[in-house]
Amino acid sequence: MKIRVDSVSIVGLGYVGMCTAATFASRGIRTIGIDIDEKRVEQIRKGEAPLHEPQLDPMLKKAVKEKLLDATNDISKAADTDTTFLAVGTPSQNDGSIDLSYIENAAKDLGNVLRETRGYHLVVVKSTVVPGTTNGTVKRFLEQSSGKTVGSEIGLCANPEFLKEGTAIHDALHPDKIVIGSDDKKSANQLTRLYRKFYGSKLPPVILASPEAAELVKYASNAFLATKISFINTIANIAQQTPGVDVGTVARAIGLDPRIGELFLKAGPGYGGSCFHKDLQALINYSEKNGYNPVLFRATEETNEKQATRVVDMAEKLLGSLSGKKVAVLGLAFKKDTDDIREAASIRVINELEKKGAQVVAYDPMAIPNTKKQIADLIDYAEDAHSALKGADCAIIMTEWDHLRKLKAKEFRAYMKTPNIVDARRVYDPDTFNDLNYVAIGVGPRRA
Ligand code: UDX
């Protein structure tokens, strides 16, 4: 029997779902995006990207125009496709565990739809879920509401994604691997065939695994990357105490060892974003529930949390006291080229500065609206970097935006009351900032 693999539906049009939907459609695969948010659905149907991501907007416009991508809030449309991806959110709960209610609802609603269909339908879990979720919760809800059996009429795979914000479309088109977790060959074969159609001769290595192993790959990947950052931040903090040392040189040298690798060795104010903290917490919680305390990952998180305090300590050391001092925070986004401030180090730094009585004025080219939603009028906002610097006692560089990188020492001197600079992103050359009160993470004091 020939299995058709040329139409897919994607439930949940957040970051992952939206980028996945657009890239599938861009490869000629008929795609239906499904989301409960009507406004979002309408926007997508007009060909407008509901989130900021390079390349997404034109890709989406083209796909909608060519009728390869449609969006709806009616999950019954999933029945018109061969394969449904679940890409709904799995937010953190207070204890660090993930909230499975969206995935439960999606599985239940999809199961109800599949009750009425004939033929085989493959369900693929793309959401980040702890090991056992696909084969446990998702399978149970699907079977209960469809009245069908997973493994015969319904196929089921876990298939995590590894997209980075800002390069998500590129990452989706050029992944380094595809991980397919399934207990039955038919499901794995159908998904492999779909990806073969998507990537053609450029199909990356496909790792076939159990659903639980596939789920753990995603957590292991993010835990490793986060730990690599906390590792280099630890070395940076040691370097900073050591005259004549710049952690950049150390990172470059160790990165040349292929066992270490050069990427994710940029020291800074600590990682942010929607994944690392959430996934580390979920992994720690999962592990603890199973009776193992993963001390390494606790240390990764603690190191990250404390890095923000170090940044504020650096400012305090320059100024003596922060009380009543005007501090310009340049950059709010958790990394450049995004308006996302989720778990951003800038927010941790701002909270610390506020506790110490500083008057904070912040500038970011994109992330001010999101920051206002989170911390409202706790701080002042500036329209550009120069206005933020005006009359400031100290400037802290929190995001590595290209135009902030281009600011010259003389601009800091001209605008600020006193040119105290804490370079938490290490964007400036310490030599050219020599005659300012300049300190950077991971740069040791000058030798006397
Ligand atoms: C991350 C993972 O990279 C991705 O595979 C996963 O699917 C989702 O989580 P993302 O959150 O988009 O992606 O951002 P990423 O580029 O990984 O950066 C995360 C944080 O780490 C940022 O705050 C960044 O500034 C910081 N970082 C990154 C460093 O401090 N140093 C580095 O060397 C690299």
Residue range 85-109: mean pLDDT, rounded? 97
CA of 348 to the centre of ligand 1 (A): 17
Atom number in ligand 1 closest to CA 164: 12
**Mean of all residue pLDDT scores within the chain:** 96
CA distance 369 to 372: 5
Average pLDDT over residues 99-118: 96
* Contacts of residue 415, Cβ cutoff 8 Å, sequence gap at least 6: 386, 389, 390, 391, 392
pLDDT single digits (tens) 210-244 = 999 999 999 999 999 999 999 999 999 999 999 99
Task: Output the DSSP codes for 180-243.
Answer: EE-SSHHHHHHHHHHHHHHHGGGPPPEEEE-HHHHHHHHHHHHHHHHHHHHHHHHHHHHHTTST
Amino acid occupying residue 393: D
Pocket probe for ligand 1: among 276, 303, 305, the residue whose CB has the most ligand atoms within 8 Å is 276
Q: Residues 179-209, buried b or exposed e (16+ Cβ, 10 A)?
A: bbbbbeeebbbbbbebbeebbeeeeeeeebb
The verdict on the CB of residue 165 being under 6 Å from ligand 1 is yes
Give the per-residue pLDDT at 1. Answer: 46
Is residue 195 in contact with ligand 1, taking CB distance under 6 Å? no
The pair of three-digit structure tokens given for residue 384, joined into one six-digit string: 């550009």
For residue 206, name the pLDDT band (cuts at 50, 70, 90): very high
Q: Is the pLDDT of residue 407 over 70?
A: yes
Pocket of ligand 1 contains residue 163 by CB under 6 Å: yes
Ligand 1 neighbour 225 (Cβ under 6 A): yes
Segment 6-64, tens digit of pLDDT: 799 999 999 999 999 999 999 999 999 999 999 999 999 999 999 888 999 999 999 99
Q: Mean of the pLDDT values across residues 187-205?
A: 96
Question: For the residues 303-323, what does the mean pLDDT come to?
Answer: 98
Which residue is closest in CA terms to ligand 1's atom 16?
164
Look at residue 97 and tell me whether its pLDDT is greater than 70.
Answer: yes
Segment 249-294, tens digit of pLDDT = 999 999 999 999 999 999 999 999 999 999 999 999 999 999 999 9
Q: For ligand 1, atom 28, which residue shows the shortest CA distance?
A: 264
Res. 3: pLDDT tops 50: no
- Percent above pLDDT 90 for the chain: 95
pLDDT, residue 435, reads 87
What is the percent of the chain where pLDDT is above 70? 99
Q: Name every residue whose Cβ is closer than 8 Å to that of residue 396 and which is 6 or more positions away in sequence.
A: 311, 315, 327, 328, 329, 330, 349, 421, 422, 424
Task: Tally the C-alpha atoms within 13 A of residue 94's C-alpha that lie toward its C-beta.
Answer: 0
pTM of the model: 0.96
Each residue of 346-405: pLDDT tens digit? 999 999 999 999 999 999 999 999 999 999 889 999 999 999 999 999 999 999 999 999
pLDDT at 5 over 60: no
Note the pLDDT of residue 233. Answer: 98
CB 386 within 8 A of CB 416: no
> How much distance in Å is there from the Cα of 173 to the middle of ligand 1?
18
Supply the pLDDT for residue 243.
Answer: 96
Which residues, 6+ apart, have CB-to-CB distance to 181 below 8 Å? 134, 157, 158, 159, 208, 209, 210, 211, 212, 213, 214, 215
